[in-house]
Amino acid sequence: MGMEDEFESLRRERDPVARGRRATELLVLYQQRSTELARIRRAAIEEARDRLGGSYTEVARAFGLTKGRITQIRSGAPPAHRAFFGVGPLTIALPGRRLLSRDDVVIAGEDDAVGAHLIAETERLAFVTERVIIDPREEWEPERDAIVVCGPASAHIGNLLMSEDPILGMGIGDGPKWHVVDKATGEQHTSPMDDADDPRRADHAYIAHHVRDGRVITHIAGLHALGSVGAAHYLTQHLPDLWAEFGDTSFSMAVTGEFDGMEPKAISVLFPPRPWS
């Protein structure tokens, strides 16, 4: 159903509860579309300036706006790299963990920190966010744009997303110890935390950007929960560069984080980002 049809259907809804709830949902949806339109216009201004010889005066004339309005748009609209995460609203999905002594699920401190960081950074980009805890007993999948923080063994969605990656993945070896692997070369790396001779507070993590079915799903998975902290910080710090290089294409990469407690001290690239096609 198109937006216009949905709007008319809502106006005809007789149940006030259903009408009110759907109106609230549509207000959020329209707000996010409006924010995306503002981003698109700001990006178009910058592109037009390059094509018109670097003059915002010429851009203003071509857009039918004043130069002052162009300045307002450039300073007020979201940056181009907001589109890396899609249009929104944005689901931030974190892995729940089961304890034998409890019926509900709990969340690790590291994953809670990742969620807080991602929510803060994406809300700065004018996303409306919703935090979801993934129950490992359920086959949950996101229905809209999402950042999913989950390894392949933690929940169905982690395994499903990673299985779509033709370049990188995770496997389990002796110990058992998980590793990040290059599917083409077979090169693999276990976590520095699992080094029998010289363990240190560092971990590898996987990052993937899925563009599919009109949605964007960003996938983060550390070999340990700590690795996801480094991946989240790397992603938000390098977002403009990743968007400039890959735009609306799917890719994956892996990083290594060195930590002081849960605070990243240094984050380096383990496997560089590569497009899937």
Residue 249 confidence (pLDDT): 96
Residue 84 confidence (pLDDT): 97
Residue 22 confidence (pLDDT): 87
pLDDT greater than 70 at residue 1: no
Q: How many residues does the chain have?
A: 277
Q: Stretch 134-163: mean pLDDT, rounded? A: 94
- Please give the residue that has the higher pLDDT: either 252 or 43: 252
pTM, to two decimals: 0.88
Q: Per residue in 227-257, pLDDT tens?
A: 999 999 999 999 999 999 999 999 999 999 9
Q: Stretch 46-70: mean pLDDT, rounded? A: 86
pLDDT band at 3 (very low <50, low <70, confident <90, very high): low
Residue 2 confidence (pLDDT): 62
Residue 121 confidence (pLDDT): 97
Q: Stretch 170-194: mean pLDDT, rounded? A: 91
Distance from C-alpha of 112 to C-alpha of 133, rounded to nearest angstrom: 10
Strand partners, 147: 92, 218
pLDDT band at 15 (very low <50, low <70, confident <90, very high): confident
CB-based contact 88:48 (threshold 8 Å): no
Q: Stretch 10-19: mean pLDDT, rounded? A: 85
What distances in angstroms separate CA 164 from CA 136, 157, 235, 252, one per listed residue?
20, 11, 20, 11
pLDDT band at 156 (very low <50, low <70, confident <90, very high): very high
- For the chain, what is the mean pLDDT? 91
